[in-house]
Amino acid sequence: MRIGVFVCHCGTNIAGTVDCAAVAAAAQQFPEVVLAVDTPYACSEPGQRAIIEAIEQKGLNGVVVASCTPRMHEATFRRTVERAGLNRYMFEMANIREHVSWVGRDKKLNTFKATDLVRIAVEKLRYNRPLTAKSFAVNKRVLVIGAGVAGIQAALDCADGGLETIVVERTSTVGGKMAKLDKTFPTVDCSVCVLGPKMVDLAQHRKIKLYAMSEIADLSGYVGNFEVSIRRKATYVDWNKCTGCGLCADKCPSRKAPDHFNELVGRTTAISIPFPQAIPKKASIDASSCLHFLKDRCGVCAKVCPVEAIDFEQQDEVVKESVGAVVVATGFDLLDIRRFGQYGGGRFPDVVTSLQYERMLSASGPTGGHLKCPSDGREPKSVVFISCVGSRDRSMDRAICSGFCCMYTAKQAILTKSHVPDCETHVFYMDIRAPGKGYDEFIRRAQEEYRTNYVRGRVSSVYPKNGRLAVRGADTLLGTQTEVMADLVVLAVGAGAAEGSRDLAEKLRISYDAYGFFMESHPKLKPVETNTAGVFLAGACQGPKDIPASVAMGSAAAGKVMALFSKERLESDPQVAQVNAVRCVGCLKCLRTCPFGAIQEVQARDGSTKAQVIESVCQGCGVCTVTCTDRAIELQHFTDNQLLAEVNYLCRSWMEKSPA
């Protein structure tokens, strides 16, 4: 083999604490190395040209670049060697920046370690073999999970781009959290008025198939060829017949069902349509409140329904769809208000969450848009808003800022004044976070034009006093304790991951953070991708986000899907596991440990059981290779021989020499 070694200075990033010329000189003596040089910037155009020229002039058939992390430039250099006619896998990278120069100060020791890293790259390269990618066809249909504003946007953009789009929504209507809001900041325009047209477009788009009251049961397959099982939950109403006339809800005698759309403010009927603009506008029965299911009588809805749509015998049903990409847009949920006992959450009826308050302000809400205290129905004359409830609070393991609470709190203070002009409004805050367009001006309006009293400090407790609520906090700017009397206390409860998000992440094989929010592939450069190819993120499922950011991310995810589908065939990564059938004894431990379902059982011609890798599903994680007791399964490009060559050198050299 004829190997060339290129040691990059990366300006002073590496050369500052590593003697690159010495590393190159040492590499010159390594086995099968015919050329070793140092270069100021290997990734620059002249740097790459030098590599190509060396390959051509010296007849190299393997290249090592010692520079930064492979996550940064491995793809760059693979293309470089390819341009010179080599197979891209005849290239190895030694990371002497993140692993050496950035973490050590001693130049002598750094040079020693960098030399070792170059040596093990050379040792591995000697066992490298050319690998070739395979290609497979792409199913150009997309699945969007969640039909809040982010999911709606992603679905509409995909469908407008000509893609067949499947939308799965867990509740009985699309619209998500945005449909529950009364108004939106900073324009104070009616939320459902701006969202409504998009909801209608979603329902009527001929490229979109909507599954409401449905959940993802299972997802298998891989980018370009996913198989998804969708569980359609029983609604006990035949939606093909239901016209959404609402007669059933009018006549339903069970009027104490929990009203989830209204955030449990007020009650609804056991058979109901969540709100007037619901899409699809279909009735569904809450079996836990329905007299037919509880006591086996009633059936009034079935009698009054003019189209005979009621079907008490309906069962959950699983349907299958095939798609090539998935957009996850499952949003967020507020933390449970009962966790905030010091504020009377869940104990005092007049302490509500911001989303409950939103429903109390809404004209389609349970109070018809008239502001009333839940305890006795009186009109509040003083409303206190508490910010950062469950946000930026390490004592609750919630160090994160939810990001949008400052803005909606200001909006709610403004709306309070327009509902009850003589109502006092107070906001307890720690810091105001309003970096969006027109956002800080909006906060100023709440204070200057709408006379909201902003108090800088946290609240320690809310307690009943003379039939009202006393809110005891601090005014840190004055250095005092502050107490305000309130008729209604609104908690700006922090945003958490949506219920069930961890389970969904397991099904989709994507990662989530400590709070249950889904992980993007790179925080800056791959914000909508996940580490599972073909699965993209949109909206607050990735972290709390306001409406403009969610919409933008929905469009971004759609853009990613369309870029993916712009190719007829996709290339698979050849760095996958491969079974040596002669060694395989068919124990199938690999099948059970594979986190991606990439291994299948096959019968050999002699009838024996063997494991087989589905190359397009395998992600190259290597779990199977360490599981296999017979060394029958190996990861291409990380074979036993390649790894042992590295280890052998390291162990041998360690015994022969040691750093001065």
Partner 1 sequence: MPVMELSASQDRAFFEAVCAKSGQDLLRCYQCGNCTAGCPMQPYYDLAAHQVMRLVQTGQRKAALTCSSLWLCAGCGQCSARCPNQLDVALILETLRHMARRAGYNPQPRVAQFSRAFLKSVHSHGRVFELGLLLRYKLASGRLLDDADLAPRLLKVGKLHLTPTSTPGQAEVAAIFRRYEQGAGS
For partner 1, which is the closer residue by CB, 143 or 484? Answer: 484
In whole angstroms, the minimum distance from the beta carbon of 2 to partner 1 comes to 56
For 304, the 3-state DSSP assignment is helix
In whole angstroms, the minimum distance from the beta carbon of 196 to partner 1 comes to 39
- Binding positions for partner 1, 480-499, rule CB under 8 A: 480-482
The yes or no reply on residue 135 touching partner 1 (CB under 8 A) is: no
Tell me the one-letter amino acid at 562. Answer: M
In whole angstroms, the minimum distance from the beta carbon of 562 to partner 1 comes to 43
Q: Judged by CB under 8 A, which of 328, 459, 557, 618 binds partner 1?
A: 459
The yes or no reply on residue 463 touching partner 1 (CB under 8 A) is: no
Size of the site for partner 1 (CB under 8 A): 23
DSSP state of 400: -
The yes or no reply on residue 339 touching partner 1 (CB under 8 A) is: no
Q: Judged by CB under 8 A, which of 401, 474, 585, 602 binds partner 1?
A: 474
Q: Residue 418: CB partners within 8 Å, gap ≥ 6? A: none
The yes or no reply on residue 344 touching partner 1 (CB under 8 A) is: no
For partner 1, which is the closer residue by CB, 275 or 343? Answer: 343
In whole angstroms, the minimum distance from the beta carbon of 481 to partner 1 comes to 5
For partner 1, which is the closer residue by CB, 469 or 535? Answer: 469
Q: Judged by CB under 8 A, which of 28, 322, 476, 641 binds partner 1?
A: 476
In whole angstroms, the minimum distance from the beta carbon of 430 to partner 1 comes to 5
In whole angstroms, the minimum distance from the beta carbon of 465 to partner 1 comes to 16
Q: Identify any residues that bridge with 324 across adjacent strands, giving them in sequence order.
A: none
Alpha-carbon distance of 291 to 95, in angstroms, equals 68
Alpha-carbon distance of 42 to 81, in angstroms, equals 12
Q: Residue 335: CB partners within 8 Å, gap ≥ 6? A: 389, 390, 398, 493, 494, 495, 496
Alpha-carbon distance of 352 to 369, in angstroms, equals 16
| Interface map 385-414 toward partner 1 (x if CB under 8 A) | ---x---xxxxx------------------
Selected range binding partner 1 among 75-83, 212-220, 478-486, 555-563, rule: CB under 8 A: 478-486
Q: Judged by CB under 8 A, which of 197, 467, 479, 607 binds partner 1?
A: 479
Q: DSSP states of 422-485 as a string?
A: T-EEEEEES-----STTHHHHHHHHHHTS--EEEES-EEEEEEETTEEEEEEEETTTTEEEEEE
Q: DSSP states of 213-234 as a string?
A: SEEEEEEEEETTEEEEEEEE--
The yes or no reply on residue 322 touching partner 1 (CB under 8 A) is: no
In whole angstroms, the minimum distance from the beta carbon of 477 to partner 1 comes to 9
Length of the chain: 660
Alpha-carbon distance of 280 to 521, in angstroms, equals 34
Tell me the one-letter amino acid at 651. Answer: C
**Residue of 325, 336, 253 whose CA lies nearest to 290:** 253
- 142, 160 in Cβ contact below 8 A? no
Q: Residue 609: CB partners within 8 Å, gap ≥ 6? A: 586, 588, 601, 602, 603
CA atoms within 13 A on the CB side of 81: 25
Q: Judged by CB under 8 A, which of 34, 245, 249, 430 binds partner 1?
A: 430
The yes or no reply on residue 460 touching partner 1 (CB under 8 A) is: yes
Q: Residue 498: CB partners within 8 Å, gap ≥ 6? A: 146, 330, 331, 332, 333, 516, 541
For partner 1, which is the closer residue by CB, 480 or 608? Answer: 480
In whole angstroms, the minimum distance from the beta carbon of 114 to partner 1 comes to 36
Q: Which 3-state string (H, E, C) describes 542-590?
A: CCCCCHHHHHHHHHHHHHHHHHHHCCCEEECCCCCEEECCCCCCCCCHH
Selected range binding partner 1 among 136-144, 183-191, 357-365, 452-460, rule: CB under 8 A: 452-460
For partner 1, which is the closer residue by CB, 94 or 405? Answer: 405
In whole angstroms, the minimum distance from the beta carbon of 492 to partner 1 comes to 14
Binning the chain into helix, strand and coil, the percentages to the nearest 5 are: 30, 25, 45
In whole angstroms, the minimum distance from the beta carbon of 472 to partner 1 comes to 6
The yes or no reply on residue 514 touching partner 1 (CB under 8 A) is: no
For partner 1, which is the closer residue by CB, 460 or 608? Answer: 460
For partner 1, which is the closer residue by CB, 460 or 609? Answer: 460
The yes or no reply on residue 470 touching partner 1 (CB under 8 A) is: no
Q: Which residues sit at the interface with partner 1, rule CB under 8 A?
A: 342, 388, 392-396, 430, 456-461, 472-476, 479-482
